[in-house]
Amino acid sequence: MKYPKLFSPCHIGNVEIPNRVVVTPMGTGLSDAIGNPTPEYIAYVQERAKGGLGLFITEVVGIDEDYGRSAPRQLMATRYEHVNPWRRLADAVHMYGGKLFAQLQHPGRHTNPDFNPTGIAVAPSAITGFKVDIAPRVLTEEEIKGLVKKFAFGAKLLQMAGVDGVDLHGAHRYLIHQFFSPMINDRTDAYGGSFENRMRFVAEIIAEIRETCGPAFPISVRISATEDYPGGYELDEGVRIAQYLEGLGVDAINVSNGIPEVGYKIQEPPTYPEGWKIGNAREIRKHVKIPVIAVSQIRTPSYAESLVADGSTDFVGITRGHLADPAWCNKAKSGNEMDIRPCVSCLYCFAEIVEFKGIRCATNPQAGRELELASPAPTGGGRNVAIIGAGPAGLEAARLFAQRGFKPVVFERTGVLGGMLHAANKLLDKYRIDWLVANLIYQTQKAGVEFRMNTTPSLAELKALDPAMVVVATGSKPIEVPFPGSNGANVHTVTEYLEGNLQFSGKKIAVIGGGTTGCEVAEKLAIEGKNDVTVVEMREDVGLDMFPIPRRDFMFRMDELKIHRMVNTKLETITAKGITCEDLPTGKKAEVPFDAVIMSLGYQPDNNITQMVKDNFDNVRVIGDAVKVRKIAEALYEGHAAAYSLA
C-alpha cells in the first residue's frame, strides 16, 4: 500500500472509519420532492463508496418543513416515511465497507422563502441574510426549543435507517452558526450575548440527540474556523468553539472556513492553491483531543498522506476530487495516481447547483448520471471508429470507445494532444488543466488508442477504415473581425500571446473582448509584465460568461491589479497610437492611446471538414466546440456520450 497513513483506520466515537478519506457535504440536487434519497442519489453515493472512501457525509439534510428548506429538492429527515429510502442509501455505502454520516442543517436567515410553505425565514436576529434580501423573523425561545427537538428527531430517523452518525452544520452562517456569530446574533436573552449563551442552541441540540439516540451515536460538528470577513470572528474564536464543542461531548470537528459573503473562500476557485487553509485545521487539532476533519482544496494523494502523517489533521476531505473520480481512493491506494481523473477547481459543479440543477462535473461526465451513463457493455468487437481531433472531446470519446472494445483511430492536425487546453493552461493558476491533459493522454494510451499526428484525414483514409462511426471533434478557431487597422504591427491575437511569442513590460495595452479569456489574459499581462491594462467590452460588464464564484474572485483581483474596464464600448478602428471607440449609451466617440492591442473576440467552430464527412458517412457525430464553442464540461460529456451511444 503506497499511502499507509491515509489508508489506516481511525475512530469517530465508537465507529471505526476504514481510512482517513472523507467526502464532505456537497449539494447534489438529487433528492425527490419530499426529501427522500432518490435512486439517482443512491447510485451517486454508492459509486463513491465502491471507489474505496472511508466516510461519506451527505449534503445538508433539512429538519424543519415549515422554515428549513434551502432548495426545491433537498434531503430531509422529518417523517417516518423517510426511513426506508435512507436505509437503502446506508446499505449502499455499507456494502463496500464505507461509513455514512448525514449532515443535519437549518438555513435560518438563508432560507429561501420560495421553497417553504410559510414564505418567510427565521433566525436568531432580524438581520438580513446575504442570499435572501428579506429580514427574517426572530425566533422565540419556545420556537428554539422546538427546533432542538426537530434536530434530535431527524437524528433518530437517520439512526433508525442505519446511518452511522450525524454532522451538525454549524458553519457558513446557517442557523447554528448564526447563533455562534456575535456579528449577526444581537439577542439579549439566554441565546445571545456571552459566548456560552451563543453556544447554548448547539449545546441543547447535542444534549437532545444524546438523549434521543443514546451516547454511542456519533456526532460531529462542522464549523467555520474563521469567518474571514471584516467584523467576523477570527481563528482564536474558532479554536474556542471547537474546544467548547469537545467539552459538550461531540466526537469530531469538521473544519471549514468562511461565510457566504466570501463564498470563494468556501468553494474555492482555481486561484487558491492546494492546502491554502490547512493551517486552520492544524491549529484546532493542537487544542482538541477528538478527531479533526480538514478541507483545503486537497487534490493529490501525496499531499493528503502528508497531512495525516505530520499530524495536521486526522481526516482529509476530498470532495470535489471524488466528484471528478469516484475511484479516487482505490486508485491512490494502488499507487495509480496517473489514472485519477482530476478536479480542476473550475466550480462548474457549483454553478449547476446554484441553478438548482442536478450535480454535474466538468471532468467527469458520469457524475450525477450514474444510472443514465452506467458502464456500457463492451460491444465494440474490434470495429474501427474514426475520430477527427484530439482535444478533450476527441480524447474522451477515444478513451471510452477503446474501453468498450472498439478500435478508435484519432487524427490530429497538430503535433500535440489536448487541443485548446494547451492555450488554457498558459493562463495564471490553470496548472490543474495540465493534470487533466495528462490524465486524458494517459488513459487513451493505456487503452491502446491509435493516434495519427500532424494529419488531417482525406476521404480515402477515412473510407479505408470502414468506420462504425466518424466523430468530428475538430474544435474551434479564433473569430477574426477585420476592423480598420487590425493588421497593424501593434495588433496581436490572444493565441500569439499565450504561445509565448510576445513579451510586454510596462506597456499600456488594450484587450479587446471581456469574456473569460480576455479577462484572464488581461490579468496575466498586468501581473507578469506590470503592464497598464484596459479591457474593452461591448456588453455591460466583463467576465459575464464566468461561473459565479470564480467571477466574484476575479473581479476583486481585477480591482487590486488596477485593470481598467471600458464597458458598453464598441471598437471602431485601431491606429498606430491606440484605438478609436464609441460609448454605446451616449454615442460619444473617443481616441484612447495604447502601445499594443490584443484581440480576444472569442472562438467559433472549426468545421471545415464536417460537411465532407456528413456527405460520405451514415453514422456521424459532431461533438464539442465543433458544434458550438462552450467549456470543458460540454466537450467531455459529448465525447463520452458519442462513445456510449454506439451499439
Q: CATH number for the domain including 259?
A: 3.20.20.70
Does residue 361 lie in a domain region? no
450-467 pLDDT tens trace: 999 999 999 999 999 999
Together in a domain, 510 and 625:
no
Confidence class for position 131, pLDDT limits 50, 70, 90: low
H or E element, residue 498: helix 494-498
| Residues forming a β-bridge with 10 | 17
Together in a domain, 498 and 450:
no
Together in a domain, 595 and 503:
yes
Confidence class for position 428, pLDDT limits 50, 70, 90: confident
Does residue 303 lie in a domain region? yes
Distances 399 to 392, 462, 579, 599, 642 between C-alpha atoms, Å: 10, 19, 47, 35, 11
Q: What is the pLDDT of residue 500?
A: 86
Together in a domain, 536 and 396:
no
Q: Which of these, 120, 33, 634, lies nearest to 352 by C-alpha position?
A: 634
Q: What is the pTM of this model?
A: 0.95
CB of 275 closer than 8 Å to CB of 561:
no
**How many Å apart are CA 556 and CA 539, to the nearest integer?**
19
**How many Å apart are CA 24 and CA 267, to the nearest integer?**
12
Does residue 617 lie in a domain region? yes
Q: What is the pLDDT of residue 263?
A: 84
Does residue 29 lie in a domain region? yes
- What are the start-end ranges of the H helices in 111-248? 141-160, 175-180, 195-198, 200-213, 235-247
Together in a domain, 507 and 572:
yes
**Overall average pLDDT of the 623-643 stretch:** 98
515-574 pLDDT tens trace: 999 999 999 999 999 999 999 999 999 999 998 889 999 999 999 999 999 999 999 999
272-294 pLDDT tens trace: 999 999 999 999 999 999 999 99
Together in a domain, 514 and 447:
no
Q: What is the pLDDT of residue 226?
A: 98
Together in a domain, 218 and 81:
yes
Together in a domain, 174 and 75:
yes
Residue 174 is a catalytic residue: yes
Does residue 379 lie in a domain region? no
Together in a domain, 215 and 288:
yes
User: In the chain, what percentage of residues exceed pLDDT 90?
Assistant: 91
Domain residues for the domain of 140 are 10-354
pLDDT at 628 over 90: yes
**Overall average pLDDT of the 1-6 stretch:** 96
Instruction: Round the average pLDDT of the chain to a whole number and report it.
Output: 96
Confidence class for position 426, pLDDT limits 50, 70, 90: confident
Start-to-end C-alpha separation, the chain: 39
Q: Which of these, 266, 376, 267, 366, lies nearest to 323 by C-alpha position?
A: 366
Least confident range of 111-115, 217-221, 409-413, 621-625 = 111-115
Q: How many domains does the chain have?
A: 3
**Overall average pLDDT of the 169-192 stretch:** 98
Tell me which of 332, 354, 376 is where a domain ends: 354
Does residue 365 lie in a domain region? no
324-348 pLDDT tens trace: 999 999 999 999 999 999 999 999 9
**How many Å apart are CA 144 and CA 123, to the nearest integer?**
10
Please tell me which residue in 41, 44, 67, 174 is annotated as part of the active site: 174
**Overall average pLDDT of the 287-303 stretch:** 98
Does residue 366 lie in a domain region? no
Together in a domain, 182 and 44:
yes
The grid coordinates of residue 533 equal: 491594462
Does residue 484 lie in a domain region? no
pLDDT at 130 over 80: no
Together in a domain, 185 and 256:
yes
User: How many residues appear in the chain?
Assistant: 647
601-620 pLDDT tens trace: 999 999 999 999 999 999 99
Q: CATH number for the domain including 454?
A: 3.40.50.720
Together in a domain, 30 and 144:
yes
